[in-house]
């Protein structure tokens, strides 16, 4: 982008706001908590705050919007991104959606603490919706206040950008603004509420449309509005599919299935656990959306979930994410059925999800191991054994795969201590490395080396592995350290983390602390292991 296209303030953004123009609005203009029928959205203004203060902003998202860095460093920017005023062309509204939460139909949910500012069109013709999270109550807030605290906002802001730089499909975050006000939260729902600093995140995405937007209309029998929303979505977000029709609805659902599978493969690749895979937290664009009690696998444990609410059932654990995405797509298929009135093509699209995920997972594992291709004859067993081995002792997933690239494949007869040396940093409890474990690991490593040799000359193996196995991820304890400082008025670590996470695959001098495994003190500390939905 050339300098002359950099906008100097938010007033110069061009807003189209097609969502409001083309879809039915709530006829009740009051901002009262209620069931909203026969409407896709309600107009509502953000709640003004006392003292907006910018904590951080993403220069990449600013550039996406054609905003010059200076435009994000003004008081006007902080005022608008906190919800105190609207820029020219903005239209504030909250959308109506429903969803299944933890497998149970929850009815109407909606944007309870998110207020959309409109859809900006950048100089490349891209449509980018801006949404404030934590900007006050809406008709969909139920019994909540519509606000957000600094700790959850830091986590949302940093993770949105970290995931993008990891190459994971995601919504983005433009800014993180303190409100100057206190918000009461009971972090673990245990009867111990306290006042915390309030904050607002500006999220950015081509669309924030979720599975639940279609579910609530279908569940209520509002089929005319269901068709309007589907047609709007195809024309706006999937225009390459052509004009809406029953056959195009099927092709559209197939694309949603494919994009969702690709997103889940990326989650599994980097060890990300979403924590709340309710259908209302699933994007029809295959984007990771709603960063609440997420986490990265530290010691490799497919049964781990970061969500305290899910601690018993572990429905949303790491190893269950692919099947939960499939289940969620089934709920979307049910919602779209009235538009198609054929079950077979919807089932075929679901089968496409499974095929896309399996093929994507195999290609992903081959890449993580530095193999040119996935050979089912040998690599199925190789991967299965590796993932079993990683669970036997506490093994840091991120560091293990990163360090595996350092394995010397030239000396096929190297003794075990030399062979395993590059991997030692990945283990949390050295005492767990028993003779039986070491023998099993050695056998796998020697089979792995033979498999690499079968690939032939692969001089770029290390570089290729480092390009898909990150060195820096947003570990919960790192986010919590940044939150601790931010709550004391020091925003430096939030911004330092943001900068480090911009280059997750590249070793950065002086940033070793961000690449280390979880320290013992963080094993059980609140915010560093499991979190609640209010986190």
State whether residue 534 is helix, strand or coil. coil
Span of 136-145, 180-189, 212-221 with lowest mean pLDDT:
180-189
Kindly tell me if the per-residue pLDDT of 400 is higher than 60. Answer: yes
CA distances from 473 to 162, 209, 397, 423, 503 (A): 7, 27, 11, 18, 10
The 10s digit of each residue's pLDDT in 459-491 is 899 999 999 999 999 999 999 999 999 999 999
Give the highest mean pLDDT range of 75-84, 413-422, 515-524: 75-84
Q: Tell me the pLDDT of the chain averaged across its residues.
A: 95
The 10s digit of each residue's pLDDT in 15-61 is 999 999 999 999 999 999 999 999 999 999 999 999 999 999 999 99
How far, in Å, CA of 255 to CA of 352, rounded?
Answer: 9
Mean pLDDT of the region 310-324: 96
pLDDT computed for residue 189 by the predictor:
65
CB atoms within 10 A of CB 188: 15
Q: Per-residue confidence at 532, pLDDT binned at 50, 70, 90?
A: low
% of the chain at pLDDT higher than 90: 90
Kindly tell me if the per-residue pLDDT of 458 is higher than 60. Answer: yes
Mean pLDDT of the region 305-320: 94
Q: Which of 166, 162, 221, 177 is nearest to 10 (CA)?
A: 177
CB-based contacts of 147, cutoff 8 Å, min separation 6: 47, 113, 134, 136, 179, 183, 198
CA distances from 183 to 149, 154, 175, 278, 530 (A): 6, 15, 19, 26, 22
Kindly tell me if the per-residue pLDDT of 163 is higher than 50. Answer: yes
pLDDT computed for residue 188 by the predictor:
63
Half-sphere exposure (Cβ direction) of 121: Cα atoms closer than 13 Å: 8
Q: What is the pTM assigned to this prediction?
A: 0.96
The 10s digit of each residue's pLDDT in 265-296 is 999 999 999 999 999 999 999 999 999 999 99
* Torsion angles phi and psi, residue 118, rounded to 5: 125, 180
Exposed, middle or buried: residue 35 (CB in 10 Å: 0-12, 13-18, 19+)?
exposed
Which residues are marked as active site?
280
The 10s digit of each residue's pLDDT in 113-131 is 999 999 999 999 999 999 9
């Amino acid at each position: 982008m050339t300098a002359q296209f950099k906008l100097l303030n938010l007033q110069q953004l061009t807003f189209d706001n097609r969502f409001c123009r083309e879809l039915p609005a709530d006829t009740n203009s009051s901002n009262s908590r209620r069931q909203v029928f026969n409407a896709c959205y309600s107009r509502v203004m953000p709640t003004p705050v006392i003292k907006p203060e910018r904590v951080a902003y993403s220069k990449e998202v600013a550039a996406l919007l054609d905003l010059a860095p200076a435009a994000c460093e003004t008081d006007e920017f902080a005022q608008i991104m906190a919800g105190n005023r609207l820029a020219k062309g903005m239209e504030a509204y909250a959308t109506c959606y429903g969803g299944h939460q933890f497998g149970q139909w929850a009815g109407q949910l909606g944007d309870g603490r998110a207020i959309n500012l409109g859809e900006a069109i950048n100089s490349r013709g891209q449509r980018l919706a801006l949404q404030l999270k934590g900007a006050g109550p809406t008709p969909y807030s139920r019994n909540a206040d519509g606000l957000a605290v600094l700790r959850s906002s830091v986590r949302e802001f940093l993770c949105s950008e970290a995931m993008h730089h990891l190459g994971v499909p995601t919504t983005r975050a433009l800014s993180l603004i303190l409100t100057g006000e206190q918000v009461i939260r009971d972090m673990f729902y245990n009867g111990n509420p306290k006042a915390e600093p309030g904050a607002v995140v500006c999220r950015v995405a081509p669309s924030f449309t979720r599975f639940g937007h279609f579910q609530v209309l279908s569940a209520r029998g509002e089929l005319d509005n269901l068709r309007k929303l589907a047609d709007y979505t195809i024309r706006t977000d999937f225009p390459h599919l052509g004009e809406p029709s029953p056959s195009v609805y099927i092709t559209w659902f197939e694309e949603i299935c494919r994009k969702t599978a690709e997103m889940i493969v990326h989650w599994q690749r980097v060890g990300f656990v979403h924590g709340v895979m309710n259908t209302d937290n699933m994007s029809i664009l295959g984007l990771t959306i709603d960063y609440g009690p997420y986490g990265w696998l530290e010691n490799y444990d497919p049964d781990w979930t970061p969500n305290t609410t899910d601690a018993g059932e572990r429905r949303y654990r790491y190893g269950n994410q692919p099947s939960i995405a499939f289940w969620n797509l089934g709920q979307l298929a049910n919602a779209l059925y009235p538009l198609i009135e054929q079950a077979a093509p919807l089932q075929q699209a679901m089968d496409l999800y499974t095929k896309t995920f399996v093929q994507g997972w195999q290609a992903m594992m081959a890449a993580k191991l530095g193999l040119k291709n996935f050979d089912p004859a040998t690599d199925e067993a190789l991967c299965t054994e590796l993932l079993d081995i990683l669970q036997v002792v506490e093994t840091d997933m991120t560091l293990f795969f990163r360090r595996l690239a350092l394995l010397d494949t030239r000396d096929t007869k190297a003794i075990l201590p030399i062979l395993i040396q590059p991997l030692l940093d990945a283990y949390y409890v050295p005492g767990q490395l028993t003779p039986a474990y070491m023998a099993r690991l050695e056998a796998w490593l020697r089979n792995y080396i033979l498999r690499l040799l079968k690939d032939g000359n692969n001089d770029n193996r290390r570089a290729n592995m480092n390009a898909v196995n990150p060195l820096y991820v947003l570990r919960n304890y790192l986010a919590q350290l940044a939150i601790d400082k931010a709550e004391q008025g020091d925003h430096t670590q939030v911004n330092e983390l943001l900068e480090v996470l911009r280059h997750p695959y590249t070793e950065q001098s002086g940033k070793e602390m961000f690449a280390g495994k979880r320290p013992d003190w963080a094993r059980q500390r609140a915010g560093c292991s499991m979190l609640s939905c209010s986190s």
